[in-house]
A and B are shown apart, each in its own frame.
Chain A
């Protein structure tokens, strides 16, 4: 009997497990390890601070998200021993594997920044990358008396690189709707040299921030926070005063990745960019945020990667050569406030471009520009996620990025 062990039952791990359960030979076991009893729909975290989603509606019991053929071990991973092909669990048990899939995600580490997670944490300093943080921030925004609201990305990479922009757009719309926008100063302090990582999208998104009177403090690498005085300081001694600080703290991979010697300096696993095999191993695949790949840490990426990992797990079990099918494809809805959203679609080689996205389900969506249909698309995705994506049903979205509908002439102009 062959044993597949999957570490983590988030978007990536659950999708891989459920797809595999339909395709493996009888007698192959699929085991998922995850300590949490509930599955969190992370794309909804952006809506919680603004009262657009209730915290309890973002969770579903884990058991119901896994197919009958998948065994769920509710425990924490202590470490992996690749030499003996074993996973050692915190509860003391061992799991042996023939193939391992690391899908343990990324998590915030506010303790990495001096002064961030101290007595003012969740009083004047908040995160929205945890359900608890997002719920607390929702109260803080509702009670905010006006002043300087600063959003800071401590360092990259972060989960969902468009989430800071979405937060700012939604905050602008939130205070505008309350008729109090003029009482709130919005600032975005980012280590990037502009609004986004890729030039054409950065320009477009930068214009959208400017039009909403949101100040960008670029190349700002946060060193420390003085919670008492309400000051955020950078390594090059710039200081930003705030009344309410919303922090996107340092992200890292799971602790066991580093403990097992499988991670880089942030605990992400060095991974082959097309086959998704862990570097230096022929029996460990990596999927979702856990990789060190130069693409977004995002649910869409986890989904596109999962298809390649499923194929490669099956090939590896049969001793066949691997499919080098992953192209870095990412596809993200960006909420822009007031019932609109934009869509960006890109991969390792092609940056986000304007145009249209011919999604057969509900499209066409507009790329790199706002529309109501995009917002509906984002909301419809909730249903797609729980009912199609997680259960491993096929979704009519091509796995590899397509140039169809995109204004590629902009690229030629940029290159010229």
Chain B
């Protein structure tokens, strides 16, 4: 299933407008759109991000993911090339993490 087939509404940076549209299939489609095919390691990160965001009320930043998810920084860059913080949040159906203000 693709982003179009699932009828996912995205903002101009490609994040889900409505987090409730997220599902494992949606994650696959969002990853596909970024050229990523999800494996177990990706899912460890996605699961961590979703659980952490539910507890904290905000999507975790990159340092938090690398410190608490069990996947280190080097691996995060291999799994989610370029911007792992942003990409992990996007595929997890969360808003863009706030960098600094």
Residue ranges of A at the interface with B (Cβ–Cβ < 8 Å): 155-158, 161, 191-193, 197-198, 219, 221, 223, 235-236, 264-266, 294-297, 328, 330
Can you sample 7 A-B contacts with CB below 8 Å?
Answer: A157-B101, A193-B83, A223-B73, A223-B74, A235-B74, A265-B68, A296-B100
Bound-complex Cα distance A157 to B99 (A):
7
Q: Does A235 contact B68, Cβ atoms closer than 8 Å? A: no
Given contacts A221-B62, A223-B73, A236-B81, contact A265 B99 (CB under 8 A): no
Q: Does B21 contact A (CB under 8 A)?
A: no
The answer to whether the Cβ of B64 comes within 8 Å of any Cβ in the partner chain is: yes
Bound CA span A265–B67, Å: 8
CA distance A223 to B99 in the complex (A): 17
The residues in B between 28 and 84 inclusive whose CB is less than 8 angstroms from any CB of A are 58, 62-64, 67-68, 73-74, 76-77, 81-84
Q: How far is the CA of A295 from the CA of B81 in the complex (A)?
A: 28
**Distance A265 CA – B100 CA, assembled complex (angstroms):** 15
B98 at the interface (CB under 8 A from A): yes
Contact of A294 among B63, B68, B74, B101 (CB under 8 A): B101
Give which listed residue, B58, B67, B82, B100, contacts A156 with CB less than 8 A: B100
**What is the number of residues of chain B that contact chain A, defined by CB distance less than 8 Å?**
18
- Closest Cβ–Cβ distance, residue B41 to chain A (whole Å): 16
How many angstroms from the CA of A236 to the CA of B83 in the assembled complex? 9
Q: How far is the CA of A157 from the CA of B81 in the complex (A)?
A: 22
Which residue among B64, B98, B101 has the maximum number of chain A CB atoms within 10 Å of its CB?
A: B101
Complex: A113 Cα to B58 Cα, angstroms:
26
How long is the Cα–Cα vector from A295 to B101 in the complex, in angstroms? 5
Complex Cα–Cα for A158 and B81 (A): 24
4 additional A-B residue pairs with CB within 8 Å, beyond A158-B100, A236-B82: A192-B99, A265-B63, A294-B58, A297-B100
Q: How far is the CA of A161 from the CA of B83 in the complex (A)?
A: 20
How distant is the Cα of A192 from the Cα of B76 in the complex, in angstroms?
18
Pairwise interchain contact A161-B62, C-beta atoms closer than 8 A: no
Q: How far is the CA of A172 from the CA of B81 in the complex (A)?
A: 33
**Which residues of A are found within 8 Å of B68, using beta-carbon distances?**
265
* B42 shortest CB reach to chain A, Å: 17
